[in-house]
């Protein structure tokens, strides 16, 4: 921006929230270059609630808005036709709000989404894929650490981010797993439940194996080639 960058703008918005000039629950969503790992982490550290990676697809932007607003509103879809909801297969519950889960749950990877990603990122696809796999592993480690520290709330953010980035890259099984983990972690916000905590640990443990299967699939099927 001409006067201040997004990081400084976020600091000013947070200050305005504290002073009552802006609603306290107003979400801040960054728009970042997908390959810039440092920028993404800095966005979250400075106080932003979430981020979207360039190039932005309209359905991803809509899902972010729906997630953080907690409401399904009519919007103009392709061709200007109004829709009653963001997607026909959006999951809704009081804790997780809304999120679209792919219909095909049998495969590790949605090849159609992979093809779309290749078309969008072109020559940068392999770099983006490498960053995605590295990020995914880091997010899983963060969740494992949260389990060890018995701090399930620290799982919500990495699970939410991994859910979105995995879906964008076509890693549908990993996205589904992150969706489940985020849902369970959010259910523990108001009250502790030993059974749900044990289930959360089980899901996080299983996610690592799903990640390994996803990584193997990308490697074996040469989906990371330019």
Residue 139: the pLDDT is: 92
Q: Report the distance separating Cα 120 and Cα 124, nearest Å.
A: 9
Q: Report the distance separating Cα 214 and Cα 224, nearest Å.
A: 12
User: Worst-scoring range by mean pLDDT, 59-63, 161-165, 205-209?
Assistant: 59-63
Residue 166: pLDDT over 80: yes
Examine residue 116 and state whether it is found in any structural domain, yes or no.
Answer: yes
Examine residue 54 and state whether it is found in any structural domain, yes or no.
Answer: no
CB half-sphere exposure, 51, CA atoms < 13 A: 28
Residue 122: the pLDDT is: 81
Residue 29 in 3-state DSSP? strand
Examine residue 174 and state whether it is found in any structural domain, yes or no.
Answer: yes
Residue 179: pLDDT over 90: yes
Examine residue 38 and state whether it is found in any structural domain, yes or no.
Answer: no
Examine residue 182 and state whether it is found in any structural domain, yes or no.
Answer: yes
Q: Which of these, 186, 157, 171, 205, lies nearest to 91 by C-alpha position? A: 186
Q: What is the largest CA-CA distance in the chain?
A: 54
Read off the pLDDT of residues 10-44 as tens digits, 9 standing for 90 and up.
888 888 888 887 788 888 888 876 545 566 777 88
Examine residue 146 and state whether it is found in any structural domain, yes or no.
Answer: yes
Residue 165: pLDDT over 50: yes
Examine residue 19 and state whether it is found in any structural domain, yes or no.
Answer: no
Residue 38: the pLDDT is: 64
CATH number at residue 156: 1.20.120.160
Q: Report the distance separating Cα 183 and Cα 179, nearest Å.
A: 6
Read off the pLDDT of residues 80-98 as tens digits, 9 standing for 90 and up.
333 333 333 333 343 344 4
Average pLDDT of the residues of the chain: 76
Q: Report the distance separating Cα 65 and Cα 99, nearest Å.
A: 11
Instruction: Report which secondary-structure segment, H or E, holds 179.
Output: helix 172-187
Q: Could you tell me the residue range of the domain that residue 204 belongs to?
A: 101-226
State the total domains in the chain: 1
């Amino acid at each position: 921006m001409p006067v201040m960058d997004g990081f400084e703008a976020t600091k000013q918005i947070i200050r305005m929230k504290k002073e009552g000039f802006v609603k306290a629950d107003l979400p801040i969503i960054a728009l970042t270059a997908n390959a810039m790992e440092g920028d993404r982490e800095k966005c979250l550290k400075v106080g932003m609630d979430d981020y979207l990676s360039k190039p932005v697809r309209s359905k991803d932007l809509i899902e972010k808005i729906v997630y953080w607003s907690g409401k399904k509103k009519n919007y103009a879809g392709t061709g200007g036709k109004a829709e009653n909801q963001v997607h026909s297969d959006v999951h809704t519950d009081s804790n997780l709000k809304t999120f679209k889960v792919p219909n095909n749950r049998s495969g590790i990877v949605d090849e159609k989404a992979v093809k779309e990603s290749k078309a969008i990122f072109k020559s940068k696809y392999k770099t983006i894929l490498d960053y995605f796999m590295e990020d995914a592993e880091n997010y899983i480690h963060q969740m494992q650490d949260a389990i060890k520290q018995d701090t399930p709330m620290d799982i919500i953010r990495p699970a939410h981010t991994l859910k979105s980035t995995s879906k964008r890259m076509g890693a549908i099984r990993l996205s589904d797993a992150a969706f489940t983990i985020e849902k369970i972690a959010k259910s523990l916000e108001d009250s502790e439940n030993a059974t749900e905590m044990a289930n959360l640990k089980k899901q996080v443990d299983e996610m690592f194996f799903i990640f390994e299967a996803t990584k193997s699939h990308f490697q074996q099927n040469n989906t990371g080639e330019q």
